[in-house]
Homo-oligomer: A and B are copies of this chain.
Amino acid sequence: MMYDSSALRAHLEQVVQLDDVAFQGIAQHFQPKKLRKQQFLVSKGDRVFNDHWVEKGLAKAYILDQKGKEYILQFAYEDWWITDYKAYFSQAVAEMWIECLEPTTVWCLSLEHRGQVCREWHTMANFFRIKSNRGYVALQQRILSLLQDTAQERYDKLLQKYPTLFQRVSKTQIAAYLGVSRETLSWLSNK
């Protein structure tokens, strides 16, 4: 089966410039993968081999506490990257689950291939550096939001920033991301 990697190219080119030759070489290091709804990209306890760029679909990274309550670390839809980064970078076993909430197409990049791609193409090292820096800043902002904002404010900001997310995931999931109970979220969303 043939996969079209043009969306991946467009994604990379949002950050760095690539010519045809370079992209051909780069794309070879990625492995496309299709998953059905409710399939797992990463399972707790399993080795994590890949980082994943989402071409199409939607996934969530989460942990469960003793009582089975879910805490969502991250959503990832079109153009986002997702994996258990702690396990990925240290080549260890996952401490979280990453599950598809829709039929999802991802492009997998192993740590090995990531290293090769960065060594071969200087621009790809730049790509990941820039992405990593932005990601760090985004996490800092989320921490400040968790410290500073009320549940209501966090809800409003998320709705404003990612309105499409609310059409794709249940409110229960939004609640697990914002750190409030679904009942409280229900109350908040009715103003």
Q: What 0/1 readout, one digit per residue, does chain A (22-66) give for beta carbons within 8 Å of chain B?
A: 000000000000000000000000000000000000000001010
Q: Provided the pairs A89-B133, A132-B132, A136-B136 are in contact, do residues A142 and B144 lie with their beta carbons within 8 angstroms?
A: no
Interface size for A (C-beta < 8 A) is 26
Asked whether A135 is an interface residue with its Cβ less than 8 Å from the other chain, the reply is: yes
Q: Nearest chain-B residue to A74 (Cβ)?
A: B140
Nearest Cβ on chain B to A16's Cβ, whole angstroms: 15
Cα A125 to Cα B119 with chains together (Å):
11
- Taking a contact as CB atoms under 8 Å apart, the answer to whether B179 and A146 are in contact is yes
Cα A51 to Cα B24 with chains together (Å):
36
- Taking a contact as CB atoms under 8 Å apart, the answer to whether A140 and B85 are in contact is yes
B contact residues around A140 at 8 Å (CB): 73, 85-86, 139
- Residue picked from A65, A128, A134, A146, most chain B C-beta under 10 Å: A146
Beyond the given A73-B143, A73-B144, A129-B129, please list 8 additional residue pairs across the A-B interface where CB-CB is below 8 A: A71-B144, A71-B147, A73-B147, A85-B137, A86-B140, A129-B132, A132-B136, A136-B139
Q: Report 29 cross-chain contacts, Cβ distance below 8 Å, ordered by A residue.
A: A63-B144, A65-B148, A71-B144, A71-B147, A71-B148, A73-B143, A73-B144, A73-B147, A85-B133, A85-B137, A85-B140, A86-B137, A86-B140, A86-B141, A89-B134, A125-B125, A128-B129, A129-B129, A132-B132, A132-B133, A132-B136, A135-B136, A139-B143, A143-B143, A143-B146, A146-B146, A146-B147, A146-B179, A147-B179
